[in-house]
Amino acid sequence: MPITMKQLRAAAFCGLALLSTTAANAAIKLDFEGLGGYDTITEFYNGGQSTRIDGATGRSGTNYGVSFSPTVLAMVDSDACSVDLPTRCNGNFANNPSGTTVMSPSTNIVVLGIAAGVTDQVSAWHITGLAASITVWSGLNGNDGYATLLGQIYRAAGPFDPNCVGNPNGAPFCHWSQLTLNFTGVAHSVQFGPLTSYDDVELGLPATPGAVPEPASWALLIAGFAITGTAMRRRKATLAVCNP
């Protein structure tokens, strides 16, 4: 059965849609691994470096275009302590969702500036029993008097469960809960409330997709265009033969 031009256009469109979906569905996930205890995170995820308590050269992570306010510290599980890196093990917590490092506000709320912006939702894990909140704003500097509030969620403090399974050394800070905020619009800054630690922060869907498509998506698109080109050449040849 011959392939129609309508089918060819649909195949090409689906290939492009695959590329777009691949880029847009890559949420930014911050797990804070690679930071040292008491590091201020600052530009760790923004192509720069953290600021280390010992004055040594800062550490760098993946460049997501995410900058942190200077009051945000990295905390490392005390069980990850080593003789050569004693300042890395400053955290009295356990059983966090991933790795050994979390984010903790030192004095006030945490502000993340996201240059490209994110859409749909922001989520994070926090210590169960401690109050936690997420607030998103349209501007880069949070509530600076110019930005629009896009959404806010708050979870009140509750009782602690002292029974720590797997790692008892962080009691009672050894249980974690996920807090998720869904919103409409493009957020360029996110605020996290103080008095708790956060881990595995996920920043929705990038509003300006920049992810590199997966090889499978490229292969499907190239194959689609190849089929399209072959079919068009055959159609042209047929038309040439039938032309009197």
Per residue in 67-124, pLDDT (tens digit) is 998 889 899 888 776 544 555 666 788 889 998 899 988 766 778 889 899 999 999 9
Q: What count of Cα atoms within 13 Å lies in the side-chain half-sphere of residue 82?
A: 7
**Looking at the whole model, is its pTM more than 0.85?**
no
Assign 3-class secondary structure to 98-137: CCCEEEEECCCCEEEEEEEEEEEEEEEEEECCCCEEEEEE
Close Cβ partners of 67 (under 8 Å, ≥ 6 residues apart): 42, 43, 45, 46, 112, 113, 115
Decide which of 168 and 63 is more confident: 63
**Owner of token pair 């894990």:** 125
143 in helix, strand or coil?
coil
Tally the residues of the chain: 244
Measured CA to CA in angstroms, residue 190 lies from 66, 95, 110, 119, 150 at distances of 10, 25, 8, 11, 10
Q: Where are the domains of the chain?
A: 1-26+209-244, 27-206
The CATH number of 27-206, from 2.60.120, 3.40.50, 3.30.1360, 3.30.450, is: 2.60.120
More confident residue, 144 or 204: 204
pLDDT in tens, 179-190: 999 999 999 999
